Chain A
């Protein structure tokens, strides 16, 4: 046993991985061209069918709990296995050229692999590894060879390159880390490592002979360092770091599992703000009770046709990831500048044609989204809510409701069922709505306060403008006063109020909001554990006292001091 070896590479997926080195076996890629007897043709066709069937089944199983990028990758693999030309050529090689199934598979796939390897297009080169994976797996099944290899859980895997599908399999073996010679930062394997929380370093050149399987190894995915046979002190330091990381992760899990109750036993509800499918796994693991704000701008910008079915697909995935809880879909909240290329630029877009104002003019866009949301409500009755952005007066709500009636009539005519009582809410982000909250509350089923825009519109401060950014003060007593007015107005009509802005995601402001009487907060998933831990560890009384003090404060500075002191 000789000394420590250190490799430097490119950090690709963060975290610390500690485990025993495991060299991923490069498969024996040579298959010799064995000829078969005429009587064995059927046997070889069966063998080939069995291999395709088994692999297809495996991919379909892998796809079950996959979303986003991962699902796309597996989908393409399944399509390749269904390729009629591929199958026809393999069959021809068995039936007419009398090759053994293994060789027929091997040589046919190699023809495609060769084309892909030599293509000018980078994306096509990148697909090569997927096809090689399919080739080798098909041959393994045809040969009745056990799939995968004996991989101790918790190993640090060294590989030249890893295909997306074997990456998914590796993660099921709970590997501690991954070190690759090749692979770019945007390669599928790296994207997967990131989303699966596997520390990964790429671009590492190692010499196989310098160390062997099961030697102690550390992967530092934050700094891009790989250490084989670490020194004792180094090992200890990394152990510490790893422990701290794990503790943090465990705390998150523990807090997420706890019931949502204050120290005195009062219930509260924390929900997730969601925009991308990739965020969905965290809705459950971080203990959200459903989605309090589903942003739909991204699908608006990605898809040009605002197609109803496209939207439905996206919405369904979100609802499916939220157990039995409710999902609040916010209508497209975009500025007109982003909608049309040839739009005249507005001189003041934040005070311009955006949110509901734009939607009421864009009849088809609004109609399609309403139809998608109402169809969704028929599939998941009682779980869907609708939220309108940038509302500034009651007449906008009336016009929206008229459009909703039209959509409902159309769906009824078509015989499509939907939730008759789907709750309709408005964002409270324009001060006029907060001020008139008692009147507006009579028209809607709930309020959702967007504290970021409310702050910006109340203080007349563009938060993106550096020269005045110090004037953007979410702690300003004026904001708290407007929040209080909103709560009081809602109370008169007995409708619920939620907060979905940044204020909900800061533990102490969340405590203050709760003290004011808001029992439902929605925030980015990563903030859920810390907010939950704050609310769980305090009593209703202490939070009420904080909110009363804040309501009496004279300046943002005073509010800041009150917040700082809270809980200490």
Chain B
């Protein structure tokens, strides 16, 4: 299992479109993926779970991966946060 803390950088926060991008990317990997924020933990492959976090710009969240391709998944997902979900 690997973990990483990231910050939501895009201005509007994790609203519908970024959530959709996040979920689509996560679903390409076999590993389980969870997001933990303010004591809530949601499945990172669930768009409804991700959206209901209502993460605003500046929010910090912990990404948790577990599975064979966890490293690749972490790299891909961190990149999305880094690029503000704009390259998809």
B45 touches A302 (CB 8 A): no
A76 touches B16 (CB 8 A): yes
Q: Most chain-A Cβ atoms within 10 A of its Cβ — which of B48, B52, B86?
A: B48
Distance in Å from the Cβ of A156 to the closest Cβ of chain B? 30
Cα A7 to Cα B4 with chains together (Å): 56
Distance in Å from the Cβ of A313 to the closest Cβ of chain B? 9
B16 touches A116 (CB 8 A): no
Question: Which listed residue, A79, A112, A307, touches B52 by the CB 8 Å rule?
Answer: A112
A79 touches B54 (CB 8 A): no
B87 touches A115 (CB 8 A): no
Within 8 A of A (CB), among B73-88: 83-84, 86-88
B46 touches A123 (CB 8 A): no
Number of residue pairs A-B, CB distance < 8 angstroms: 66
A121 touches B46 (CB 8 A): no
Interface check B6, CB cutoff 8 A: no
Q: A79-B23, A305-B87, A310-B87 are in contact. Are A124 and B54 (CB under 8 A)?
A: yes
Question: Which listed residue, A72, A75, A84, A124, touches B51 by the CB 8 Å rule?
Answer: A124
- Residues of B within 8 Å of A131, CB to CB, are 48
Cα A303 to Cα B87 with chains together (Å): 7
Nearest residue in B to A130 (C-beta to C-beta)? B16
Cα A116 to Cα B87 with chains together (Å): 27
Nearest residue in B to A306 (C-beta to C-beta)? B87
- Residues of B within 8 Å of A121, CB to CB, are 13, 15, 54, 56
Contact count band on A = 20 to 34
Interface check A85, CB cutoff 8 A: yes
A127 touches B16 (CB 8 A): yes
B45 touches A84 (CB 8 A): yes
Interface check A560, CB cutoff 8 A: no
Interface check A86, CB cutoff 8 A: yes
Within 8 A of A (CB), among B45-62: 45-49, 51-52, 54, 56
Cα A127 to Cα B15 with chains together (Å): 10
Distance in Å from the Cβ of B86 to the closest Cβ of chain A? 5
Q: A76-B16, A76-B17, A127-B16 are in contact. Are A120 and B48 (CB under 8 A)?
A: no
Question: Which listed residue, B17, B48, B54, touches A72 by the CB 8 Å rule?
Answer: B17
Cα A120 to Cα B47 with chains together (Å): 18
Contact with A along B34-48 (1 / 0, CB 8 A): 000000001101111
B54 touches A83 (CB 8 A): no
Q: Which 3 A-B pairs have the closest CB atoms?
A: A85-B46, A121-B54, A79-B47
12 new A-B contacts, CB < 8 A, other than A79-B24, A112-B48, A305-B87, are: A76-B16, A79-B23, A83-B49, A84-B45, A85-B48, A120-B54, A121-B54, A123-B12, A124-B52, A303-B87, A304-B86, A305-B86
